[in-house]
Copies of this chain bind each other. A is one copy, B any other.
Amino acid sequence: MAQLSSVAGIPIGTIKFYLREGLLPAGERTSPNQADYDERHLRRLRLIRGLIEVGRLSIVEARRVVDAIDSDIGLAETFEVAQHTVSEQVDAVDLDRGALDLVDAAMTGWRVSEDNPGRLAAARVIGTFLAIGQPDERGWLARYAEAALLAADADLDEIESRPDREAQAETVIVGTVLGDALFAALRRAAQEHATSLRYGTESDGAG
């Protein structure tokens, strides 16, 4: 375990905690106080840390998605587990009907179930916009929907590139949990770029 800790750069206390919480499978015991950990343990350890520290999942949420990887459920169901884990529960009855109509209009032609957590969460955001008097005058919502389709297609291509079910399930989980953080980060960089293009503000030009 000391070696695993040193290679992964993760404290032994954290590894023991993950083991106790059932997030990391136990190593193969070779003596009463010695166990063997292999490459799989290392990868899983890094996955768990990424989900918790970068993806901001709770221990319970991390265990739920890791269990989905280790199960034999299909990809659609794995997506469902991932989506429900990272999405805030929004109750349809609390939503502004006008906001829901706007979201459905932006998704015209999409095959999306009525209880898709994303559909409801999007309506909640748009409801907030409407409540504070922010009109959508330049097709903001529709353009976000278009961008979301690009990202979702990239997600599926990435998943299809994986060699087997377990690797695909892992990509579903990681892509769902960390994809939000990646897009949010890139949007901030893109905002600086677009602002600089339009208004000629200064930039160090790292890109």
Contacts and interface: CB of A to CB of B under 8 A. Distances in A.
A174 B132 contact: yes
Given A147-B150, A201-B76, A131 B50 contact: yes
B151 A143 contact: yes
A72 interface: no
Nearest to A135: B161
Interface in A106-144: 106-122, 124-126, 128-129, 131-134, 136-141, 143-144
A54 B128 CA distance: 8
Given A54-B128, A155-B140, A174-B134, A180 B189 contact: no
A93 to B, nearest CB: 14
Nearest to A138: B157
A164 B114 CA distance: 38
A166 to B, nearest CB: 12
A161 B138 contact: yes
A58 to B, nearest CB: 15
Interface of A: 43, 46-47, 50, 54, 75-76, 79, 83, 86-87, 104, 106-122, 124-126, 128-129, 131-134, 136-141, 143-158, 160-161, 170-171, 174-176, 178-199, 201, 203-207
22 contacts: A43-B132, A43-B133, A75-B199, A79-B195, A83-B188, A83-B191, A86-B184, A87-B185, A111-B192, A111-B193, A113-B205, A116-B188, A116-B192, A118-B185, A122-B185, A122-B186, A128-B174, A136-B158, A145-B186, A147-B186, A151-B190, A152-B190
